[in-house]
Amino acid sequence: MEKLLYIPDPLLRQKADKIKKVGSEEIAISNKMMQIMLNAPGVGLAANQIGILKQIVTILFIDQETKKENKYSLFNPKIVSYSKDKIVMEEGCLSLPKQYAEIERPKNIVVEYLDQNNKLINKEVSGVESRILQHEIDHLSGKLFIDYLSPLKRNIMIKKVQKILKNKKNEK
């Protein structure tokens, strides 16, 4: 549970299990995930990315309007509604280092999740927060942002990641 998994690790393609109740173990996992995400550095992380098949997501971003840092964990997050409006934004992923692509997603979503006190939260989000949550919640069902691309573009990115990882190994 200490390190990030990279494509083509099969755990990245597996569905994460629902959590029955948020307890000290789940909170410890989310704290560890937050640390890994900060060190990477990244704005979001799903538990499958560190080899844990539990529905846990951590996010951290700066709200561009308020300049306030938003940092929180979500347990069993699910998107309950999507806006009809779509927006194209660049995405990257800690499990695909140095790979970015323009991805179209709904502009706003309503997300439902448990917080660390087992309280059910229902929240409408937009902008960067919406983008991060859609990306991370996809991870929990084994879906990666490259799945929105053509097979050719997807394969090129996977090959680039494998080359980057091979070069990293050779440097050691």
Structure tokens at 59: 């996010």
Burial of 146 (0-12, 13-18, 19+ CB in 10 A): buried
How far, in Å, CA of 171 to CA of 157, rounded? 21
Does residue 69 have an active-site annotation? no
108-142 burial, b at 16+ Cβ within 10 Å, e below that, comes to bbebebbebeeeeeeeebeebbbbbbbbbbbbbeb
- Reported as half-sphere exposure (CB side, CA atoms, 13 A), residue 30 has a value of 23
- Which of 2, 129, 136, 171 is catalytic? The answer is 136
3-state secondary structure of 20: coil
Bond preceding residue 10 cis, omega within 30 of 0 = no
Q: Which residues are catalytic?
A: 136
